[in-house]
Structure 1
Amino acid sequence: MEKKLHKMIFTCGGTAGHINPAIALAQLAREKEPTVEILFVGAERGLEKDLVPKAGYHFRTVHISSFHRSFKPHEIKHNLISACNLLRSPREARAILREFQPDVVIGTGGYASFPLVKAAAKAGIPTAVHESNMVPGLTTEMLEPFANRIMVGFESCRKYYKHPQKVAVTGTPVREDFFALTKAQAKEQLGVNDGRPLVVSFWGSLGASGMNQQMVDFLALEAAKEPFHHIHAAGSGNLTALKHALKERGVVLSEHPALDVREYIYDMARVCRAADLVICRAGASTISELTALGVPALMVPSPYVTNNHQEKNARALEESGGAVVLLERECSGQALFQAASGILRDEERRAEMERSMLSLGIRDAGERIWQTVLEIIK
């Protein structure tokens, strides 16, 4: 008989890649146990303080902050504050646990999850950590000795842990709306069902302006013959500059209906479902979505992330045959265009890449995580 969950704490922070999986899991928990009480705990200045309340969940904070690897005066000051927070946060975490009395504490990454998971483990409360990157981040490494389970995205992740018996391969939850349409339905709704393949590109916020300069060359090469449809998200504040640069190259987007350049892709689920190739960074959430859908990828990992996580994520897909990786320092608009064209012209290669991506994808990640949580609270 399954044990009923009465109270759950999710703790996460830093990036949307840590916060969104936690929100997805909280939504699943509400479906499974409609009466369950859920509390989120994060940093007082993190992105989570905005995203979690908007999703409709109660939110508490602990004083916790990251450490910076620099000896500049303002960075030294930041690290001194972080050191003080490191001494302060365990007391705050214990107070939250005493007050809320959770049945389980689940951390989904980011330094904000460290004090709660560690305090819960020391108090004998069942704990689990979800790591969405291919290799464990610093917080996950520090929590591995304490957590009952480490939940990871792929079987190949297991080798990076000192306690492989604790590892459960669950995947990373992907929103259900990514599967609401078939590929044909998504293409029809977007008006890209004339037989030409669809390329989708976006860079996120890390280094987006630099990569958009490469996309000017890419789009200019496309405009000559429009061999495929292309939806590109320029990102916040980059759209005007990109359009101006294209105009200087003689490309007026209104004259090229196959080139759809936007500031954001608000309908990402539908657009990714329709895509034949995605050109992007290699964040963990993006990888979980692309593998679940089976979409081939041309990846330029961000060099601006801690511990080079994105290249390690991308290389895992490349080794499986589902992605092609170009490093930013070696990248150009022409190189991207040639790589994309090579994939799209070779239908057999593209089909093999789709199969490889699907083989890595875990559609029932939420259910696997739920079963893992039930297992550790028994």
Structure 2
Amino acid sequence: MEASLKKVIFTCGGTAGHVNPAIALAQLMREKDPETEFLFVGAERGLEKDLIPKAGYDFRTVHISSFHRSFKPREIRHNLVSVGNLLRAPGEARAILRQFRPDVVIGTGGYASFPMVKAAAKAGIPTAVHESNMVPGLTTEMLEPFADRIMVGFEACREHYRHPEKVIVTGTPVRRDFFHLTKAQAKRRLGVEDGRPLLVSFWGSLGASGMNRQMADFLALEAAKEPFHHIHGAGKDGYPVLLKLLREKGVDLADHPALQVREYIYDMAAVMRAADLVLCRAGASTISELTALGVPALIVPSPYVTNNHQEKNARVLENAGGAAVLLEKDCSGQALFQAACGILHDGARRASMERAMSALGIRDATERIYQTVLEICQ
């Protein structure tokens, strides 16, 4: 059965959360059979055009773009271009299929995956779609009638599909280096004192500037007491602004070694592994990492994403008991600080949240997806 997977097309794009699961699966497939050939297909202007070649895979593009829900002249022009692309993309997808002749086509999210999966299904080629968000995005909704399998992160996702018989719970792949260290080893590597809780915070790019301003108030409150060790990733644009705000509040981080503000958290695997609480958004990749590691979270979903995906992701964790959710409109540095202290200073609550988060986690998601792909190719 494995021998049949000699040529595989992955199609994805838009965000790293769509691209990284595909790369993780390709890496596992290559380990299983080094002779397997891979082709990634995405949009010409997407993030994927940089991420995929850096990972060492061949990359092709189709002309496809999003539709904007606005009647401003600029947005109307954009949508007219998107209509043209929608008419052009199917032919490009069919040409790629004829040239590469894949055994299977796997979509992992983003509008770039629509023409490839649909064309493959019409050509009788096995297809699978992985949806990393709790509720299916527009692309997944449109592909549901065509795909042989829809792979999702949680059992609760199944109710959002018109064809639940196609849905299989696989989880979302998490990079293997997240499991290389034990929690104690990760804390030692980071220099976190024994017995002292570690808070990790980061906001991603969407709406991060406003949240970083709240983190200035949060860090100023911490500086007065230093109740826990804290690593905050402010982002490239947010980093100098946050340091300036702290100086205006009379906080010199050099006097507070337990409080680290970084431009970017490059060693995220070790940092997440060591964390006792993560303060973050609710992107699909972050959700899969939190559940796989069993780390409690205080989540402020981004209100700037399509279809309010992040709040829906966060509520799954909250309903299971693994996370607390604060909406951005209700946030302040003081409210975030009090909520974080409430969790980190309550050992029983934190342990309960860890258990709940671990119960949601699927550590072997990549293997489950691989086995699902084998089944539809059988």
Equivalent residue number for residue 19 of structure 1: 19
Deviation at 1:250, TM superposition (A): 1.1
Write the deviation string for residues 158-195 of structure 1: whole angstroms up to 9, x where unpaired.
00000001001000000000000000000011110332
Q: Are residue 280 (structure 1) and residue 280 (structure 2) matched?
A: yes
Q: Aligned partner of 2:243: which letter?
A: K
Q: Are the aligned partners of 2:24 and 2:173 in contact in 1 as well (CA < 8 Å)? A: yes
Deviation at 1:196, TM superposition (A): 1.2
Equivalent residue number for residue 305 of structure 2: 305
Q: Are the aligned partners of 1:13 and 1:112 in contact in 2 as well (CA < 8 Å)? A: yes
Q: Normalization by structure 2: what TM-score?
A: 0.99
Q: Are the aligned partners of 1:203 and 1:281 in contact in 2 as well (CA < 8 Å)? A: yes
Name the Cα RMSD after superposition. Answer: 0.7
2-structure distance, mates of 1:194, 1:168: 41
Deviation at 1:238, TM superposition (A): 1.4
* Structural mapping, 1:72-151, within 5 Å: 72-151=72-151
Deviation at 1:2, TM superposition (A): 4.4
2-structure distance, mates of 1:39, 1:364: 24
Equivalent residue number for residue 245 of structure 2: 245
* Structural mapping, 1:175-186, within 5 Å: 175-186=175-186
Aligned residues: 378
Deviation at 1:341, TM superposition (A): 0.2
SS in structure 2 of the partner of residue 22 of structure 1: helix
Equivalent residue number for residue 174 of structure 2: 174
Q: Are residue 340 (structure 1) and residue 340 (structure 2) matched?
A: yes
Equivalent residue number for residue 227 of structure 1: 227
2-structure distance, mates of 1:336, 1:4: 52
Equivalent residue number for residue 190 of structure 1: 190
Equivalent residue number for residue 375 of structure 1: 375
Write the deviation string for residues 213-270 of structure 1: whole angstroms up to 9, x where unpaired.
0001100000011010000001012111111111111110000011000000000000
Equivalent residue number for residue 34 of structure 1: 34
Please list every run of 5 or more consecutive structure 1 residues that lacks an aligned counterpart in the other structure: none
| 4+ aligned runs moved over 3 Å, structure 1 | none
Equivalent residue number for residue 7 of structure 1: 7
Q: Aligned partner of 1:281: which letter?
A: R
1-structure distance, mates of 2:283, 2:133: 8
1-structure distance, mates of 2:259, 2:56: 37
Q: Aligned partner of 2:31: which letter?
A: E
Q: Are the aligned partners of 1:3 and 1:374 in contact in 2 as well (CA < 8 Å)? A: no
Equivalent residue number for residue 362 of structure 1: 362
* Structural mapping, 1:38-77, within 5 Å: 38-77=38-77
SS in structure 2 of the partner of residue 128 of structure 1: strand
Q: Are the aligned partners of 1:3 and 1:377 in contact in 2 as well (CA < 8 Å)? A: no
* Structural mapping, 1:310-325, within 5 Å: 310-325=310-325
Write the deviation string for residues 81-111 of structure 1: whole angstroms up to 9, x where unpaired.
0000000000000000001000000000000
SS in structure 2 of the partner of residue 195 of structure 1: coil
Please list every run of 5 or more consecutive structure 2 residues that lacks an aligned counterpart in the other structure: none
Deviation at 1:4, TM superposition (A): 2.8
SS in structure 2 of the partner of residue 49 of structure 1: helix
Q: Aligned partner of 2:157: which letter?
A: C
2-structure distance, mates of 1:353, 1:193: 22
SS in structure 2 of the partner of residue 111 of structure 1: coil
The 10-residue stretch of structure 1 (242-251 or 55-64) with the greater mean CA deviation from structure 2: 242-251
Q: Aligned partner of 1:129: which letter?
A: V
SS in structure 1 of the partner of residue 201 of structure 2: strand
Deviation at 1:19, TM superposition (A): 0.6
Identity %: 80
Q: Aligned partner of 2:13: which letter?
A: G
2-structure distance, mates of 1:88, 1:4: 31
1-structure distance, mates of 2:244, 2:109: 39
Q: Aligned partner of 1:180: which letter?
A: H
Write the deviation string for residues 294-318 of structure 1: whole angstroms up to 9, x where unpaired.
0000000001101000000000100
Q: Are the aligned partners of 2:4 and 2:377 in contact in 1 as well (CA < 8 Å)? A: no
Q: Are the aligned partners of 2:4 and 2:103 in contact in 1 as well (CA < 8 Å)? A: no
Q: Aligned partner of 2:63: which letter?
A: H
